[in-house]
Structure 1
């Protein structure tokens, strides 16, 4: 049986990791690059449209390359899971991503696979890997046609 202190620590860790994941979406959507990059460890990795490692590469990718790909975007994450072992954690969270590129609205979904570590008393991403299930113009829907009844 785990002690009360261990159970409370687990709850605090889960809440802190939930806040880390939420801040990721908010800071990315707000394009607050310094605060966003600080969510990653110094050698942190993001893998998705490209694979980048470290704060300098993350800053270049997100502040320069991402805005070149899309005019605007919004991230919504739900259904997060996490397994915590001491100062390390891993988990998956579902992603809905809405964006505008060349005046066309897009809808997409996927998930992030996360590895997180506690450094200096704070949880950060050591790696975040995104997998997209689809990306489609909103007018067409993800199955290539509008929703039924439209």
Structure 2
């Protein structure tokens, strides 16, 4: 019975972590800053364009600096992995990011590396690090035209 309970708890943890990651995208895109910052532990950190730690620094960065970089943005995350060890989880999730800056549409992709911890309020990010693979104006495409287009096969 203990094995079954442990397996059920793991499934519940994985589902809750999936919801945490999804809420991150939705709350960020909707600019719901108070709820967004609450997805992190009090000493939680984000590393990307800047490295910030703690709720006050997260609030300042995301509510002021991020909107100054892009008028609009949308995050899409897929292919999440997670390893759970007790009350700590680590994982990676792929990310596509679309944005508009000074009237120019951009396309980008990358991934997040996460460390999450179980708290009294549920799973939270202890740290989240974003790595971009590219960021390019949509009109140029993500490859900058360097990848040959498929054509007819030689006869």
Q: TM-score, normalised by structure 1?
A: 0.95
Residue of structure 2 equivalent to 1:8: 8
- Listed as ranges, the matches of 1:1-150 within 5 Å are 3-145=3-145, 148=149
The separation in 1 between residues aligned to 2:14 and 2:67, in whole angstroms, is 31
The separation in 2 between residues aligned to 1:103 and 1:3, in whole angstroms, is 55
Secondary structure, aligned partner of 1:13: helix
> How far did 1:146 drift?
9.3
The separation in 2 between residues aligned to 1:82 and 1:23, in whole angstroms, is 16
Structure 2 unaligned residues grouped into runs of 5+ = 151-155
The separation in 1 between residues aligned to 2:121 and 2:105, in whole angstroms, is 40
The separation in 1 between residues aligned to 2:96 and 2:27, in whole angstroms, is 16
* RMSD (CA atoms): 1.4
The separation in 2 between residues aligned to 1:55 and 1:11, in whole angstroms, is 29
Q: Which runs of 4+ in 1 moved over 2 A?
A: 145-149
Secondary structure, aligned partner of 1:97: strand
- Residues 76-125 of structure 1 deviation map (CA, whole Å, 9 limit, x = unaligned): 00000000011100000000000000000000000000000001050000
Larger radius of gyration: 2
Contact preservation (8 Å) 1:139, 1:146: no
Contact preservation (8 Å) 1:140, 1:146: no
Task: Say how many residue pairs are matched.
Answer: 148
> How far did 1:143 drift?
1.1
> How far did 1:145 drift?
2.8
